[in-house]
Amino acid sequence: MRTCPYCAEQNREGVLFCEECGQPFIGVQAIMATSQLVNEDQVSLRGRVKWGTARFDRRAAVVVHVRDAREPLTLIPKDEIVLGRSDIHSPVVPDVDMAPYGAAEQGVSRRHAVIRRGEDTLTLIDLGSTNGTHLNGQRLIPHQPRVLRDGDEIRMGKLVFHIFFKE
């Protein structure tokens, strides 16, 4: 059971909005707030709502599209993809180097986050970065994996990009 923080009603596990007062439970509100931008584009597709699947085929590729960048990056599939920025003072180079997108000014850490490939999902894990990683507007708890969906928005520091699955 979950107790609603607003009206103290007992709700069953799995309920997303309190059945008595309609308040969204923790987490739900944040997801909805950031969804509106995405939804606006989708409304134009004759009202058909579309969202990403969380199912990730092991053979599929991951495409990263940094906001305002001209070309998206297609990543070679591997079990762990480290996102960060290269630095002349450090020998470590991440798998996806955000340095060309002004990563340093936008507060991206050298080893910022990692995309890990599971059986048929991808998860995103913040590597304890200085300025944090946000998934669809929600800040990740460092070192705690979250499932990625096709089309998700990721923000590292102030750098925003989208993840797409490519079969």
- Contacting positions for another protein (CB under 8 A): 1, 7, 12-24, 27-28, 31-32, 35-36, 38-40, 42-43, 46-49, 51, 54, 123, 135-136, 138, 144-147, 149
CB of 81 to another protein, least distance (A): 18
157 near 98, Cβ under 8 Å?
Answer: no
Q: In 44-88, which ranges are E strands?
A: 61-66, 73-75, 80-84
CB of 3 to another protein, least distance (A): 13
Report the amino acid identity of residue 128: G
- Joined together, the tokens standing for residue 52 give 């990403």
Which of residues 18 and 98 has its CB atom nearest to another protein in the complex?
A: 18
Which of 140, 163, 167 has its CA nearest to residue 63? 163
Which of residues 133 and 136 has its CB atom nearest to another protein in the complex?
A: 136
Element (H, E) at 156: strand 153-156
CB of 5 to another protein, least distance (A): 14
CB of 31 to another protein, least distance (A): 6
- Quick one: residue 68, left, alpha or beta (phi over 0 = left, psi -120 to 50 = alpha)? left
Which of residues 33 and 69 has its CB atom nearest to another protein in the complex?
A: 33
Which of residues 87 and 153 has its CB atom nearest to another protein in the complex?
A: 153
